[in-house]
Amino acid sequence: MSTFFDAKMAGRRTERASVIGGVAVLAVVAVALALRATFRTNVDVAWLLTVGEKVLDGQRLYADILEVNPPASMIIYWPAILIARTLGLTPEPVLDALVGLGAGASLWLARRALDGSGLLSGVAGWPLLVMAAAILLLLPMHNFAQREHIALICLLPALAVMAARAETAAVPRWLAALAGIGAGIAVSIKPHFLLAVLLPELYLVARARSLRSVLRIETFAAAAVVLAYALVVLTVFPAFLTEMLPIVRDVYLPVRHYGAGILRMPALPVWIATGLGLAFCVRWREWGPRLVVPYLASAGFVAAFLAQGKGWSYHGYPAVALALLTAAVALAHKIGTPAARPTGLAPRLVEILFGVVLAVMAYQAALWFRDGRDSGTLASVVSRLAPQPRLIAISSDLSVGHPLLREIGGQWVGRVCSQWISEGIALRRGEDLDEATRARLEAHAARDRGLLAEDIRQGRPDIILIHEDWLDWTKWALSDPGLAAALSEYRRAETVRDVAVWVRSKR
């Protein structure tokens, strides 16, 4: 009789936990929806949506419109654009919905991959789901739907499959194939994301003690996606290799904005703090693929963040997210397995300290990810001067024109998003460069000025936004005869903070 009542009470506790967990997940989703309604579209996302629309309308990427990133950075936004056009909507809410659904599908696939491995044994499922949902839906803040965010969502099932493989567990072939496709998409978005796959893969090889362990369904699926994408670049977008890569090599890649200061940005500190905390709080025998695989993937993303050298917050999101997810798995195991909890005052204090430190660092990371420019006043001024204007900006800061352009229903008449080429050249002029490199840079600079002048003459924008930033872009433009002539038909109408609003004086 007592056994019956014990089982009945246990069932009620499980049911109650499920209800609480379901409510908590719905709360995370509700907060995510509130954030999406509150925050402006990410700067890069807004620009890449504009690029995607222009290419779908017939313009040629890397010819009619110049974009520093490879084609995948634009292609991943095509589904949202096409669905939005079919439904008569703007792409932004459709994109948010697709990314949210993708996050849910990613977590479901990851759970399915781990089901038969025993890695979730003793792990409290609902707490882990709530924490994972918060990491994917809330933590990105302004970086929601960025390429790194999408890449992480695509990669999670592959990491779960790798963890299961490390335990020699069987994974359904269809799931392994889907996971491989997701990993291939992630690597196609940015090739250096391969580091986030390579480090866990080395761990699997070490456990299997055989290179043959690499020959798996998901590996072949990922390789097929990457090879197919490479073929698309070669045949459909060859100008990226012939026209854009030389500029990227000379102007974009050499510029590292923060130097050693990049080491203090949350990506590396969160990764280190997570590793130290887990080392002190998790018994060695409890370490295994469920912690090692995501933590090594986080290390790969840290390496990618440092290699890029820009210090932009969205570059660091996957590293922070996977480090926190590793900690979430460890915490969920302690919640679900009382025997895993420490005994004694000192170990408990260590865990509490680790939790507090990680919570503070997660909060700091969230603030880092909340880095959008507030252009509400500028948008109202521009709309008053010229409703739904043809628009261009003279600035190295992408956020001057985007997402403002989409918010006011304007049309971008420039071939580039900003003067990032001239900025990179200006930042390199102090370097000790050989004559050949200096000549290439000056040629790039002359072309950037020429394209801008031509876009103003032919595009005839109603509004020109000129940034008064670290570089006096007004002086920069007027010092060039071609640009000065193109601007002669415009006058400064108003100035909003550090942005001068110029309007056409001759109509």
Poorest-pLDDT segment among 205-214, 291-300, 331-340: 331-340
The mean pLDDT of the chain is 90
Percent of the chain with pLDDT over 70: 94
| Interval 131-147 mean pLDDT | 95
Q: Please, which pLDDT band fits residue 3 given cuts at 50, 70 and 90?
A: low
Q: Give me the pLDDT at residue 6, please.
A: 45
Evaluate if residue 159 carries a pLDDT over 70: yes
- Angle CA 141–24–283, to nearest 5: 85
CB atoms near residue 369 (< 10 Å): 25
* pTM (2 d.p.): 0.93
**65: which DSSP letter?**
B
**504: which DSSP letter?**
E
**CA 122 and chain centroid, separation:** 32
Work out the angle between the directed axes of helices 91-114 and 173-189 (0-180°, nearest 10): 130
Q: Give me the pLDDT at residue 12, please.
A: 59
d(CA 198, CA 206): 12
Closest among 390, 440, 392 to 418, alpha carbons compared? 392
Poorest-pLDDT segment among 163-172, 368-377, 386-395, 495-504: 368-377
Scan for tokens 């989703």, then name that residue: 29
Q: Give me the pLDDT at residue 10, please.
A: 46
Q: Cα torsion at 393, 399, 401, 405 (round to 10°)?
A: 170
Evaluate if residue 258 carries a pLDDT over 80: no
Q: Give me the pLDDT at residue 462, please.
A: 96
d(CA 184, CA 186): 5
d(CA 333, CA 325): 12
Closest among 270, 263, 347 to 311, alpha carbons compared? 263
Q: Please, which pLDDT band fits residue 267 given cuts at 50, 70 and 90?
A: very high
Percent of the chain with pLDDT over 90: 71
Helix or strand holding residue 467 (H, E):
strand 463-467
Q: Give me the pLDDT at residue 416, please.
A: 94
- Angle CA 320–324–330, to nearest 5: 155
Evaluate if residue 8 carries a pLDDT over 60: no
Q: Give me the pLDDT at residue 361, please.
A: 84
d(CA 304, CA 320): 12
Q: In sequence order, which residues have a C-beta less than 8 Å from that of residue 60 and are 6 or more positions away?
A: 239
pLDDT (tens digit per residue) in 438-464:
999 999 999 999 999 999 999 999 999
pLDDT (tens digit per residue) in 408-432:
999 999 999 999 999 999 888 888 8
Evaluate if residue 273 carries a pLDDT over 60: yes
| Interval 262-277 mean pLDDT | 92
SS3 of residue 394 by DSSP: strand
Q: Give me the pLDDT at residue 255, please.
A: 85
Helix or strand holding residue 419 (H, E):
none
Q: Give me the pLDDT at residue 371, please.
A: 72
Q: Give me the pLDDT at residue 470, please.
A: 80
Q: What are the φ and ψ backbone dihedral angles of 494, each rounded to 5 degrees? A: -150, 165
Q: Give me the pLDDT at residue 117, please.
A: 85
Q: Tokens representing 300? A: 């790969």
Q: Give me the pLDDT at residue 4, please.
A: 44
Evaluate if residue 139 carries a pLDDT over 90: yes
More confident residue, 166 or 358: 166
Over the range 37-62, which residues count as b (16 or more CB within 10 Å of their CB) and which as e? eebbbbbbbbbbbbbbbbbeeeeebb
| Interval 376-402 mean pLDDT | 92
pLDDT (tens digit per residue) in 319-350:
999 999 999 999 888 888 776 666 667 777 87
Distance between first and last Cα of the chain: 91
Q: Quick one: residue 330, left, alpha or beta (phi over 0 = left, psi -120 to 50 = alpha)?
A: alpha
